[in-house]
Chain A
Amino acid sequence: MYDFALFSAVTSAHSRTFCNGNSMALTREQIENIAHLARLALAPAEIPVYQQSLSAIFEFVGELDRADTARVQPMAHPLEGLSQRLREDRVTETDHHERYQANAPQVAAGLYLVPKVIE
């Protein structure tokens, strides 16, 4: 299905899953739910496109199941020997809010404006 022999095992496993009908094609509702969680408004025409491509991506990454990770610790950081530093609890930043708010879509009296939240 893809041109890379490195993944021939991966992709043929995909096809097997797919042909057995075990594939997890995402429904329209699932895409709408993911988009809601991600706070993304999608146009109606975008939904089937993401249904197809996200389903293919989850099939593809599902091949991670082939690896035996029973006794493996998850790796969160590429340099695991070096732990995250702490710094002294001291004020180092000065007030930059005017400079930063120059990029804001709408501000008034030093506040960011959004549509009314409480009636």
Chain B
Amino acid sequence: MSLHTLSLAQLAKGLRAKEFSSLELTRMLLARIEASQPKLNAFVTVTREQALAAAAAADRQLAEGSAGPLTGLPMVHKDLFCTEGVRTSCGSRMLDNFVSPYDATVVAKLRAAGTVMLGKSNMDEFAMGSSNETSFYGPVRNPWNPDLVPGGSSGGSAAAVAARLTPVATATDTGGSIRQPAALCGVTGMKPTYGRVSRYGMVAFASSLDQGGVISTTAEDAALILRAMAGFDPNDSTSVDLPVPDYVATLDAPLSGLKIGLLKEFFDKGLDAENEKRIHEALAVCEKLGATLREVSLPNLPLSVPAYYVVAPAECSSNLARFDGVRYGYRCKEPRDLMDLYKRSRGEGFGAEVKRRIMTGTYVLSAGYYDAYYLKAQKVRQLISADFKRAFGEVDVLMGPTTPTPAFPIGAKTSDPITMYLNDIYTIGANLAGLPAISIPCGFAGGLPVGLQIVGPHFGEAKILNAAHRYQRETDWHTRVPEAYR
């Protein structure tokens, strides 16, 4: 087996056994990244020099015996995590010239753990998109077929892992931005419980929904990275002060007696028939492992997309008010006065979809509309959250599809924002309720990957990683690599 197809856990063993060095591994992946860039455009920045220096330092630690479990392992950060001394563009012209003055907590923790950053992955602008087509740096292409989207907003992270340019990548999920691209690229994508992972230094989109997580090839690797990135952070006021369990230790627990809820609302006419078959096959594997299936209904779930498209833009319009052309970011040429400076810097610095969301949010928060839209959406959010709570009184985890269809062609949905928004129809519920969820590969439809979604109760990461890992021990879908990247 070649080095690039090994999982993070396998690479960790190889580094320790001195089968290869971190420097060799890093050089090999940098070469793959550079060769793939014209085809996939998965990166905004490749940090070659820093990566080689970090790998050399890791090799010294490995030789001395002072290495931790992640020392010398390469990874990629989504380009909305601040990385000290390195540009953090957020996929936007607005931040094209922004060099992070400090590390995000997630980056600092993974750096301290000894990981080697290879670069920063491309993404939808400010994480607003489901196809990676809104990036200022151009779309990312799907490694399974370059005419198709990789999903979004963490499209660069998902494509990079799928093409085996990196074993793992950080990502963020506000309405499905980890799970949806993971599904469309045939990789594993883990969104933790809201508050589990620090948001400090992660450029904010919708603060009550945003959550950092990881894209990897296996659930085991997701557990390894999550264990290192999760935990309380005094710099994030919504960070939860609860101990981080050892997600790796519980991966192999048996699934006998696990009660799986099938979300009735997910198996509807909108679900592609081939996708649906793959999901039922995956559920049969879980049954074989001793789990039991039962249908559950979340009657308010169909309103999750409209609720999200009030709450998320409202929070976005507040968060993105900080981009004023004064303190950092893009500034227009020759402003006439201060108002002109604000308006043109923002009008020229933001792309079309970001402006659409800012205006949607501005409108729903404006005088006379607040109760009808924003307050109403927050009440519906409460109903959806209560639906999930009821379901978790009956079952341990929920399973269903991650997306209605496999990857779609670049350009197919750009003209109609609502059609694009409906890509996240199965993922948004977990964000509104703050629940952890994972997408894992469960087969192919028309030659394209299909994702199985597993949703858990608050802080139920260990259980969903356990279920995903046991499924991956029985199947090999997660080991499939697109032909051009084998």
Binary flags per residue of A32-75, CB closer than 8 Å to B gives 1, else 0: 00111111111100100110011011101111111101001111
Q: Given B305, B355, B360, B379, which contacts A75 in the complex, CB threshold below 8 Å?
A: B379
Is A99 touching B337 in the complex (CB atoms < 8 A)?
Answer: no
Is B359 touching A38 in the complex (CB atoms < 8 A)?
Answer: yes
Is A115 touching B336 in the complex (CB atoms < 8 A)?
Answer: yes
CB distance from B453 to the nearest CB of A (A): 15
Contact residues in A for B363 (Cβ distance below 8 Å): 34, 54, 58
CB distance from A117 to the nearest CB of B (A): 6
The closest CB in chain A to the CB of B355 belongs to A40
The count of A-to-B residue pairs whose CB atoms sit within 8 angstroms is: 208
Is A79 touching B346 in the complex (CB atoms < 8 A)?
Answer: no
Is B458 touching A79 in the complex (CB atoms < 8 A)?
Answer: yes
Contact residues in B for A42 (Cβ distance below 8 Å): 347, 355
Q: How far is the CA of A10 from the CA of B339 in the complex (A)?
A: 40
Binary flags per residue of A96-116, CB closer than 8 Å to B gives 1, else 0: 100110111110000010111
Q: Given B366, B379, B458, which contacts A37 in the complex, CB threshold below 8 Å?
A: B366
CB distance from A111 to the nearest CB of B (A): 11
Q: Given B309, B341, B358, B383, which contacts A67 in the complex, CB threshold below 8 Å?
A: B383
Interface presence of B473 (CB below 8 A): no
Is A76 touching B418 in the complex (CB atoms < 8 A)?
Answer: no
Q: Given A39, A46, A64, A103, which contacts B343 in the complex, CB threshold below 8 Å?
A: A39
Binary flags per residue of B86-120, CB closer than 8 Å to A gives 1, else 0: 00000000000111010000000000000000000
Is B265 touching A6 in the complex (CB atoms < 8 A)?
Answer: yes
- For A35, A74, A76, A112, the residue with the greatest tally of chain B CB atoms inside 10 Å of its CB is A74
Q: How far is the CA of A78 from the CA of B194 in the complex (A)?
A: 7
CB distance from A106 to the nearest CB of B (A): 7
Is A57 touching B309 in the complex (CB atoms < 8 A)?
Answer: yes
For chain B, residues 329 to 357, give those with C-beta under 8 angstroms from any C-beta of chain A. 329-331, 335-344, 346-348, 350, 352, 355-356
Q: How far is the CA of A40 from the CA of B344 in the complex (A)?
A: 7
Q: Given B338, B350, B375, which contacts A74 in the complex, CB threshold below 8 Å?
A: B375
Q: How far is the CA of A3 from the CA of B376 in the complex (A)?
A: 26
Contact residues in B for A72 (Cβ distance below 8 Å): 379, 382-383
Contact residues in A for B326 (Cβ distance below 8 Å): 104-105, 112, 114
The closest CB in chain A to the CB of B384 belongs to A75
Binary flags per residue of B396-436, CB closer than 8 Å to A gives 1, else 0: 00000000100000000000111101100100000111100
The closest CB in chain B to the CB of A60 belongs to B418
Contact residues in B for A99 (Cβ distance below 8 Å): 101
Binary flags per residue of B355-397, CB closer than 8 Å to A gives 1, else 0: 1101110111010000001011111111101000000000000
Q: How far is the CA of A35 from the CA of B378 in the complex (A)?
A: 24
CB distance from B357 to the nearest CB of A (A): 9
Is A61 touching B347 in the complex (CB atoms < 8 A)?
Answer: no
Is A4 touching B270 in the complex (CB atoms < 8 A)?
Answer: yes
The closest CB in chain B to the CB of A61 belongs to B306
- Supposing A4-B404, A87-B234, A103-B99 touch, asked if A73 and B433 sit within 8 A by C-beta, the answer is no
A interface with B by C-beta (< 8 Å): 2-10, 31, 34-43, 46, 49-50, 53-54, 56-58, 60-67, 69, 72-79, 82, 84-85, 87, 96, 99-100, 102-106, 112, 114-117
Q: 24 interchain pairs (CB within 8 A)?
A: A6-B270, A34-B359, A39-B324, A39-B339, A39-B343, A40-B358, A41-B344, A43-B347, A60-B305, A60-B309, A61-B306, A61-B373, A62-B306, A64-B303, A64-B377, A67-B376, A69-B376, A74-B379, A102-B101, A103-B101, A105-B330, A115-B340, A116-B337, A117-B338
